[in-house]
A = this chain, B = another copy of it.
Amino acid sequence: MKLILLFVATLIRSASAAEPTSAEILAQSAASDWRAPDPQRTLYLELASGRVVIELQPEFAPKHVANIAQLVRQKYFDGLAILRAQDNYVVQWGDPNGEKPEARPLGKAKRSLSPEFFRPSFAEVPFTALIDPDSYAPHVGFSLGMPAARDEHRTWLVHCYGMVGVGRDEAADSGGGTELYVVIGHAPRHLDRNVTLVGRVISGIERLSTLPRGSGDLGFYTDKEARPPVLRVRLAADVPPNERTALELLRTDTPTFARFVDARRQRREKWFVDPVGHVDVCNVPLPVRKRSP
């Protein structure tokens, strides 16, 4: 039995030796396999070290994305700070004064919204499913450029590295987007369907992941002086075109993407000596490349 299995494995390896690697698939991709992020739903988080670019995904969290855009247009985040950097978990920013009287006013934006932890049906949204098992969900895959999961009656975004979510307190409806966090460690999938995810970092995440970790519980900075400042947050649409970061994202609903995922599953690069044959939804990179402006 073992010999037969090995023989089959050898056959599969031989057959796939001629198949391209993920790098080769990207090199051979067509212009139509890529899309430019919509400047109306792209955020520039400006830190002392430079820019972090975030793509928002309103199809999964329309109220939260609209509220965040409202906060950004009001320059709500300008001059606020990164409040928390917890190793192997998240970096989070917002108003150091929280909801105190001296907190920054919210203007037309809301402090809290009803949760958008999932979409109630998956029929309406494109979903490129993985064939691999997942520890947390019956089905995982990609939807509208984001890692996602679904069961028989819900679809939700999942907490892979780089995903951006809405901080909240104990009440499910206590978040609204005034505090946002980014995953900087192993995917905390236990947060799925417990937090509203709004998008993902598509450039500059190393400016967040290398921040000094906070010394307090949950990585909060106990010393105010230690908090890295948030210089400003802007919608790309509100930045002059020549100051925008010109990026393109590989679409997740194309045959090219399906081949790319399979190449990540099989790992045909010569370096691999034991076939992998599986891939975790959070181990599929969602490629981003520079675009001529």
A287 vs chain B, min Cβ distance (A)? 14
A134 within 8 A of partner (CB): yes
A274 touches B186 (CB 8 A): no
Instruction: List B contacts of A211 (CB < 8 A).
Output: 210
13 CB < 8 A contacts A-B:
A115-B273, A133-B133, A135-B278, A135-B281, A136-B276, A160-B186, A185-B185, A186-B186, A187-B280, A193-B274, A194-B272, A194-B276, A209-B209
Q: How far is the CA of A272 from the CA of B191 in the complex (A)?
A: 8
Instruction: List B contacts of A264 (CB < 8 A).
Output: 190
Q: Which one of B153, B210, B278 lies within 8 Å of A213 (CB-CB)?
A: B210
B190 touches A136 (CB 8 A): no
Q: How far is the CA of A188 from the CA of B280 in the complex (A)?
A: 9
B209 touches A88 (CB 8 A): yes
A87 touches B134 (CB 8 A): no
Q: Which one of B193, B212, B267, B283 lies within 8 Å of A210 (CB-CB)?
A: B212
Supposing A2-B153, A133-B134 touch, asked if A276 and B172 sit within 8 A by C-beta, the answer is no
Q: How far is the CA of A91 from the CA of B190 in the complex (A)?
A: 26
Complex interface residues of chain A between 163 and 217 (CB less than 8 A to chain B): 170, 172, 185-190, 192-194, 205-206, 209-213
Q: Which one of B2, B88, B133, B213 lies within 8 Å of A135 (CB-CB)?
A: B133
A161 within 8 A of partner (CB): yes
A161 touches B186 (CB 8 A): yes
Complex interface residues of chain A between 203 and 262 (CB less than 8 A to chain B): 205-206, 209-213
Q: Which one of B170, B185, B189, B267 lies within 8 Å of A280 (CB-CB)?
A: B189
A264 vs chain B, min Cβ distance (A)? 8
Instruction: List B contacts of A272 (CB < 8 A).
Output: 190, 194
Q: Which of A193, A267, A276, A280 has the most CB of B within 10 A?
A: A280
A282 within 8 A of partner (CB): yes
Q: Which one of B87, B172, B267 lies within 8 Å of A206 (CB-CB)?
A: B87
B205 touches A283 (CB 8 A): no
A279 within 8 A of partner (CB): yes
A135 touches B134 (CB 8 A): yes
Q: Which one of B192, B193, B280 lies within 8 Å of A136 (CB-CB)?
A: B280
A276 touches B190 (CB 8 A): yes
Complex interface residues of chain A between 106 and 136 (CB less than 8 A to chain B): 115, 117, 132-136
B186 touches A136 (CB 8 A): no
Q: How far is the CA of A104 from the CA of B115 in the complex (A)?
A: 58
A100 within 8 A of partner (CB): no
B172 touches A280 (CB 8 A): no
